[in-house]
Amino acid sequence: MEIRTDQNKIFPLFLLILLITLGKYYIYIGFALKPYMVFLFFLFVFNVTVFYFVKFHFYEFIMILFYLTFSFTGAFSLYPIESIRIILGIILLIICYFIIRFFLVKYSIYAIEKAIGYSGLVFNTLSLLLYGIALKFKLTTIGGVMMDRDYPRLIGVVTDPNYYIFYNSIFFTYFLCNSKSSLNKIGLILCLITNLLTFSRGGIMAMAFVFIIFLLLSKPIKQYKLILSSISLLSLFAFIMTFVFHINFMNMIFSRIQDFSTDGGSGRFELWSRAWTYFGSQPFFGIGAFNFKEYNSHDFSDTHFVHNTFLEILSESGVIGFSIYVLFLFFVCYQLLENNLVFEKPFLFLTFILFLVQMTSLTFFINEVFLLYLAIVANYIPSQKSLKERSLSI
């Protein structure tokens, strides 16, 4: 029997998740003041008399240890101002994480999943609307589109098309693993459309990889249905893009893939080589927190980050910081396996895999969406109550 909950009770949680994904909207006051930060501030103020620090799981202690170690490398950096900037950013996001953890323990598994579903629908619908309006009225400079060469790439409510699939990861996997309801089917369709419209090669390949893992974990009959429905959906979408928006979608996808052999992954291969070289110069503690960009600018007049989370951490915090980060990721995965969440709640495992794959082409070692995911996972790991008991509570 379906468990029902009061929609008003999950509205604050829905709002928090949605605000965290609105990466494009902020006010710069020395740092990016984002809507979810304001929401969390008021949430803390209204609950200050009852606020407490939720007991952490082991992977959360390792996460804090990593951020402390990473921040410590700033003491040896050539550009200490940049290190101080990222340290202040880390402190701010960790404070937000404490408040989110306190906030989430008030909700059941069921309520959290409903909030994920509703916020995913709004996130993707709003992004698709901004994209369509921008194309229709040629508002590519202020709308939901970023023109990259000849590609109209969807950014929606995020700042960059390469980041969009990362922000959309938990929504995509949730809808994929819970596609029985009509709303979740619509959500999955929206996720597929918006993710494809980013024309992000790394993101789309990561999504395809996770889709294959999902098929391997699913029953054969479900596999066939998903493959057939996906092909039908893609064909219909390509038809609409061609005859309504006059965009040859399939040609653009194949063209983006072909570009990979000529543009060096948009310069990523060169950036990875430089990161490895910097790591070789300071192998133990690295060149210092948030210093790669400054080194790269000074040596090569290039202001890009590494575009690889693991190489960025390796070059900036050395073997010590990198080892702690890998240990942290290992224990996240261990908790998912130990609590059988791979099969009971596969969307959490698939989200983790999707994050890891995307981290090989993007820098995301400190990010609010990833921290939100970790806080959500913590709620699925039983302490005194069992997972089934918590699933039945409101």
Q: List, in order, residues 6 or more apart from 273 with CB less than 8 Å away.
A: none
Residue 265: the pLDDT is: 55
Query: Whole domain around residue 237: which residue ranges?
Result: 7-391
Q: Which phi-psi region, left, alpha or beta, contains residue 286 (left: φ > 0; alpha: ψ -120 to 50)? A: left
Residue 109 within a domain? yes
Confidence of residue 391 (pLDDT cuts 50, 70, 90): very low
Residue 1 within a domain? no
Of 368, 361, 371, 367, residue with least CA distance to 304: 361
Burial of residue 215 (number of CB atoms within 10 Å: 0-12, 13-18, 19+): middle
CA within 13 Å, CB half, 8 = 0
> Going by DSSP bridges, is the β-strand pair 32-33/151-154 parallel, antiparallel, or unpaired?
unpaired
Residue 132 within a domain? yes
Domains held by the chain: number: 1
Express each pLDDT in 348-376 by its tens digit. 999 999 999 999 999 888 899 999 999 99
pTM: 0.89
Residue 67 within a domain? yes
Express each pLDDT in 139-193 by its tens digit. 665 678 888 777 788 999 998 998 999 999 999 999 999 988 889 989 998 999 8
Residue 319 within a domain? yes
Residue 2 within a domain? no
Residue 271 within a domain? yes
